[in-house]
């Protein structure tokens, strides 16, 4: 049955954290330091549902905090940072206790926490608290950001047990055969997911049932399709079916206390060649602590003397494990007084994920240091020449950002015109960062947010701009209001539109060309690919971001500089062969896909067809397929009078699916059936099913009837009753006629036969169906047209509990038919709803990395080496940032072209009308010397030199405004033409750069 409200709220997170997430409500975490990094850590923990989060800060909020501390409002200035942050955080999640502490961090106080996080903390305090936590077995984390760099340290004690070290479900494979022998050999698909020594369990095996439920056994991988297990010589012969699954084994890790780890750091990185850089940053952070003790302040922005002193202190720290990169230390020190929201977002999100690891014991903790920097930003043209005067404080909320990029850059940020597509998890984090950065906060700036979705309960654990009171409200409208609360100067406009082919009249080429950039926060490959094509066409910079679970990526697309984003082709969402779903399922994915199809076939399509029949008097004259007419006839014939009828209908459906259909299948192909002498039919990919017997006391049987009856009642507008006891009593009295298998019924055994097979049309029965439909329509409508739909179609909704109740029960009953292990309600929801696992930490980190690329775009940077493609995996705490690939080139017409190049032609003649096709041909000849043999607009041939003379003349005289009847193309104003020219040689592409013609 359906999960609780908490489960609905955190469902996407549960898919990431697994069972360990159950520990979150009982945990207590201290977050010390409530500037930007601490605010990000605390926010992520509150959204994730940590039971008790205590905020510690002794200082008052100041104007400069508002560069990066997104929990503060204008009226909070001068008040204790922890206190004012508590109020904002408490609104995020009513299930979390948020408290504050402004005293010292005494041992007695620290002892009540499972995890302690220090941010913005002096080294002396880090060492003292770290020693105590290590001795007491309290997980200890240090997170710090300075300017364009960040530092993360973890100490989870000397013996920390990770219950579930890997992301995703354990590896599994469908069994095809198991030999009797010592050792036994398992033939299966997908052995590449197993390694020697893995422990595995078996389920759903038929014949050699001794393996089912056995204690985990080790395997030896023989090759790509065979695993060796223990002695099976005494087991029963294997018949068919089964699943072999790897068992997750707990792992241990050991951490040193900070006092030891500081001197001999273990630094985690994506590439070993990054070690010298990380070691130099390690020394730079230590030197910065020493500078602050010595001077009582951080180095002044862009002050050479202060930076040199930090370098001297770094040199004096003693022997390094690698040579000190002095340029890195100087660059770090020169902007270390700066505060950037994107950097705080990245480091704070990584730190929050480590807290969740400590509590849930899910994933490998960081071992033990991680350093992050975006110092490449200092190489941007204009940034390298900044002086101490350029970066001096102005008493502005942006002083932390001005310290890094200067006052003129801050003004440039205010002028930006940006489009954010998607106001979900990544979108919320992008908008929060943009508000702090001051993007579009100038008099001519503009920030457009568009999202057609509304806020749901399941959004609230990772979309920080929304609250419970906002549920069912438009995301973009609520997000825009939140942005203005964070920064009233940002000029933000919400839209409720999808950016796609249907809205190209609104989001035209001119619209995209007037933007300074686009930030993509979309959750489908199709939408992301479409947006990429539009930005490529209009030469608009794009920052594309995406996440799945703990993994995420950021890809900047810069006109003429980077290779356009390459999106994978859209996967077929769990499509399987039809005969597999109907007759030979082997996995729970098969049964869930079947259940999802049944949902649509029972509660949506028939109602739509009936409504169409009732509303359209000509429905029967339109040569409807006999299958459709039969469905309409069945739906009207089965119309329930009351709730009891709905229950009886559901009970008959249960009998048909889980008993009668299986009996018919086994009648056609008995368990002993052979495809040829000695070759059993039920073997390999075919598991022999067994029929179920209905039992009203069986919870799954009752769940199916209850959910199916409820949905059937909704379709027919009958008031439902969900009392289980009453339904059980009704079901005990239901007596169904015995089922007799049909002789000669054909069951297709291949995909091709399944698609081709059709029940022969019984014309006499079809005639009776049509007569009945005519009569029923007359009785229901009379001489009046139908005023309201007779039935209510019910589309599948993944966040509707009754829908998931039906899917779970329907799938698990079918799984029982075939000996497949059942799925939980939550797992069924994920697979059937095609839900992408999501968590706030990943989205926050990805949005932070995306905003670092936005900084570069705002500078107008045309140096490829300054940009970064980023990939993160928070389950292993890995962050990989690499230079994007350059824009590819090709040769055409004797010269080299970039993939960004296109030809532009004014498609307006001297008479003010659209030019003719001949004028286009003349322009290409005159401008580029190309003789065109074929001109195309999409799939339409506008000119073909091989056509007959009369046809060519007609083509040449046609105006461009007449060549496309697609209004959408004309609304874009630019018609895109492709051409093939005479004399193209082998090295040329089929066509040259596209030709864009601006129409009147």
Q: What are 619-644's pLDDT values in tens digits?
A: 877 767 777 888 888 888 889 999 99
| Sign of the torsion formed by the C-alpha atoms of 399, 402, 408 and 410 | negative
Q: At 572, is the pLDDT very low, low, confident or very high (cuts 50, 70, 90)?
A: very low
Average the pLDDT over 141-153 and give the result.
Answer: 98
Q: Strand 369-373 vs strand 149-155: parallel, antiparallel, or unpaired? A: antiparallel
Q: Are 133 and 139 in contact (CB under 8 A)?
A: yes
At 921-979, the pLDDT tens digits run 999 999 998 999 999 988 889 999 999 999 999 999 998 887 655 544 455 567 889 88
**Residue 645: pLDDT above 60?**
yes
Catalytic-role residue among 154, 240, 253, 579: 579
Reported confidence tier of residue 814, pLDDT bands at 50, 70, 90: very high
| Helix (H/G/I), strand (E/B), else coil: 709 | helix
Q: Is the pLDDT of residue 308 over 90?
A: yes
Contact 588, 822 (CB under 8 A): yes
Residue 906 has a pLDDT of: 87
Q: How far is CA 169 from each of CA 15, 225, 244, 840, rounded to the nearest angstrom?
A: 9, 20, 13, 20
Q: Which of 600 and 616 is assigned the larger pLDDT?
A: 600
Give the pLDDT band of residue 721 (cuts 50, 70, 90): confident
Residue 343: per-residue pLDDT: 98
- Decide the pairing of beta strands 160-162 and 251-253: antiparallel
The whole-model pTM stands at: 0.88
Q: What are phi and psi of 139, to 5 degrees?
A: -65, 135
Question: Could you tell me whether strands 28-32 and 995-998 are parallel, antiparallel, or unpaired per DSSP bridges?
Answer: unpaired
Summary mean pLDDT of the chain: 90
Whether 756 shows a pLDDT value over 70: the answer reads no
Q: pLDDT per residue over 967-994, tens digit each?
A: 444 555 678 898 888 876 544 455 789 9
- Is the pLDDT reported for residue 361 higher than 70? yes
pLDDT of residue 319: 56
Overall average pLDDT of the 670-681 stretch: 87
Give the chain's length.
1000
CA proximity to 657, closest of 805, 809, 803: 809
Burial label for 613, CB within 10 Å (0-12, 13-18, 19+), is buried
How high is the pLDDT of residue 782?
63
List the beta bridge partners of residue 872. 552, 879
Q: Residue 916 has which token pair?
A: 């003719």
The whole-number average pLDDT for the span 808-827 is 91
Is the torsion defined by CA of 247, 354, 137, 99 positive or negative? negative
Task: Decide if pLDDT at 309 tops 50.
Answer: yes
Instruction: Classify 200 as helix, strand or coil.
Output: strand
pLDDT at 602: 94
Based on its alpha-carbon atoms, the radius of gyration of the chain, rounded to whole angstroms, reads 33
Residue whose pair of structure tokens reads 């699954």 in the numeric block: 245
pLDDT tens sequence across 33-63: 999 999 999 999 999 999 999 999 999 999 9
308 three-class SS: helix
**Per-residue exposure over 171-198, b if at least 16 CB sit within 10 Å of its own CB, e if not:** bbbbbbbbbeeebbbbbbeebeebeeeb
Q: How confident is the model at residue 766 (pLDDT cuts 50, 70, 90)?
A: confident
The pLDDT value given to residue 213: 81
Active site residue 579: yes
What is the model's pLDDT at position 570? 40
What confidence score (pLDDT) does residue 788 get? 59
C-alpha 137/C-alpha 741 separation (Å) is 67
pLDDT band at 880 (very low <50, low <70, confident <90, very high): very high
Closest CA to 540 of 683, 419, 674: 419
Alpha helix ranges (H) inside 796-904:
801-817, 825-832, 840-859
């Amino acid at each position: 049955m359906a999960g609780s409200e908490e489960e609905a709220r955190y469902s996407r997170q549960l898919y990431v954290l697994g069972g360990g997430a159950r520990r979150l409500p009982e945990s207590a975490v201290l977050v010390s330091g409530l500037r930007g990094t601490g605010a990000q850590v605390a926010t992520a923990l509150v959204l994730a549902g940590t039971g008790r989060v205590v905020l510690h800060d002794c200082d008052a909020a100041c104007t400069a905090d508002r560069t990066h501390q997104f929990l503060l409002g204008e009226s909070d200035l001068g008040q204790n940072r922890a206190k004012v942050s508590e109020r904002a955080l408490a609104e995020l999640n009513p299930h979390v206790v948020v408290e504050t502490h402004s005293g010292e961090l005494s041992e007695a106080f620290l002892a009540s926490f499972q995890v302690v996080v220090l941010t913005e903390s002096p080294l002396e305090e880090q060492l003292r608290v770290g020693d105590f936590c290590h001795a007491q077995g309290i997980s200890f984390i240090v997170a710090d950001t300075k300017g364009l760099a960040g530092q993360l340290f973890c100490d989870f004690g000397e013996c920390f047990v990770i219950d579930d070290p890997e992301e995703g479900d354990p590896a599994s494979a469908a069994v095809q055969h198991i030999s009797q022998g010592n050792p036994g050999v398992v033939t299966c698909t997908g052995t590449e997911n197993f390694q020697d020594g893995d422990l595995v369990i078996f389920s759903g095996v038929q014949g050699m049932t001794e393996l089912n439920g056995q204690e985990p056994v080790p395997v030896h991988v023989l090759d790509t399709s065979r695993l060796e297990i223990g002695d099976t010589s005494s087991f029963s012969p294997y018949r068919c079916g089964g699943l072999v699954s790897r068992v997750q084994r707990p792992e241990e890790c050991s951490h040193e206390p900070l006092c030891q780890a500081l001197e001999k750091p273990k630094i985690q990185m994506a590439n070993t060649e990054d070690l010298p850089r990380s070691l130099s940053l390690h020394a730079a952070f230590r030197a910065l602590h020493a500078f602050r003790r010595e001077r009582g302040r951080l180095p002044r922005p862009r002050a050479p003397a202060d930076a040199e002193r930090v370098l001297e202190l770094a040199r004096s720290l003693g022997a390094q494990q690698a040579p000190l990169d002095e340029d890195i230390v100087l660059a770090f020190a020169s902007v270390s007084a700066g505060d950037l929201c994107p950097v705080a977002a990245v480091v704070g999100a990584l730190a929050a994920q480590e807290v969740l690891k400590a509590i849930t014991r899910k994933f490998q903790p960081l071992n033990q240091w991680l350093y992050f920097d975006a110092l490449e930003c200092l190489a941007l043209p204009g940034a390298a020449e900044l002086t101490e005067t350029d970066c001096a404080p102005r008493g502005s909320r942006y002083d932390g950002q001005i310290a890094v990029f200067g006052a003129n850059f801050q003004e440039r940020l205010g002028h930006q015109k940006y489009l954010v597509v998607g106001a979900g998890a990544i979108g919320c984090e992008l908008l929060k960062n943009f508000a702090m950065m001051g993007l579009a906060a100038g008099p001519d700036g503009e920030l457009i947010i568009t999202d057609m979705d509304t806020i749901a309960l399941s959004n609230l654990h990772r979309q920080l701009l929304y609250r419970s009171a906002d549920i069912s409200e438009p995301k973009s409208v609520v997000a825009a209001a939140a942005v203005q609360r964070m920064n009233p100067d940002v000029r933000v406009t919400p839209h409720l539109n999808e950016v796609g082919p249907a809205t190209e009249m609104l989001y035209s080429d001119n619209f995209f060309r007037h933007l300074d950039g686009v930030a993509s926060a979309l959750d489908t490959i199709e939408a992301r690919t479409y947006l990429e094509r539009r930005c490529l066409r209009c030469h608009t910079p794009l920052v594309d971001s995406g996440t799945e679970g703990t993994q995420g990526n950021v890809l900047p697309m810069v006109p003429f500089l980077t290779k356009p984003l390459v999106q994978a082709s859209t996967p077929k969402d769990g499509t399987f062969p039809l005969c597999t779903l109907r007759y030979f399922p082997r996995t729970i994915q098969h049964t869930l896909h079947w259940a999802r199809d049944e949902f649509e076939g029972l509660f949506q399509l028939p109602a739509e067809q009936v409504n169409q029949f009732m509303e359209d008097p000509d429905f029967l004259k339109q040569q409807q397929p006999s299958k459709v007419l039969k469905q309409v006839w069945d739906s009207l014939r089965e119309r329930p009078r009351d709730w009891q009828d709905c229950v009886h209908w559901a009970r008959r459906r249960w009998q048909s699916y889980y008993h009668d259909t299986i009996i018919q299948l086994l009648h056609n192909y008995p368990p002993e059936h052979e495809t040829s002498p000695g070759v059993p039919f039920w073997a390999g990919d075919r598991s022999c099913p067994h029929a179920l017997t209905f039992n009203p006391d069986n919870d799954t049987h009752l769940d199916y009837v209850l959910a199916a009856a409820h949905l059937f009642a909704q379709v027919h507008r009958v008031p439902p009753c969900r009392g289980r006891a009453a339904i059980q009593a009704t079901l005990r009295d239901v007596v169904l006629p015995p089922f007799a298998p049909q002789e000669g019924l054909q069951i297709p055994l291949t995909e091709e036969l399944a698609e081709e097979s059709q029940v022969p049309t019984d014309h006499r029965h079809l005639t009776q169906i049509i007569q009945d439909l005519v009569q029923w329509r007359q009785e229901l409508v009379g001489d009046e047209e139908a005023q309201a739909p007779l039935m209510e179609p019910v589309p599948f909704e993944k966040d509707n509990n009754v829908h998931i109740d039906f899917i779970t029960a329907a799938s698990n009953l079918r799984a029982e038919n075939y000996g497949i292990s059942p799925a939980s309600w939550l797992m069924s929801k994920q697979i059937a709803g095609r839900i992408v696992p999501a968590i706030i930490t990943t989205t926050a980190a990805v949005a932070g990395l995306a905003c670092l690329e936005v900084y570069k775009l705002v500078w107008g940077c045309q140096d490829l080496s300054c940009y970064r493609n980023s990939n993160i995996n928070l389950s292993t705490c890995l962050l990989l940032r690499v230079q994007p690939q350059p824009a590819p080139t090709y040769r055409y017409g004797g010269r080299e072209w970039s993939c960004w190049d296109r030809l532009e032609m004014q498609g307006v003649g001297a008479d003010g009308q659209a030019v003719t096709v001949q004028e286009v041909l003349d322009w290409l000849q005159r401008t580029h010397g190309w003789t065109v043999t074929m001109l195309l607009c999409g799939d339409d041939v506008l000119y073909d030199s091989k056509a007959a003379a009369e046809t060519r003349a007609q083509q040449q005289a046609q105006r461009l405004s007449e060549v496309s009847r697609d209004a959408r193309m004309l609304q874009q104003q630019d018609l895109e033409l492709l051409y093939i020219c005479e004399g193209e040689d082998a090295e040329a592409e089929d066509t040259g750069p596209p030709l864009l013609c601006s129409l009147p």
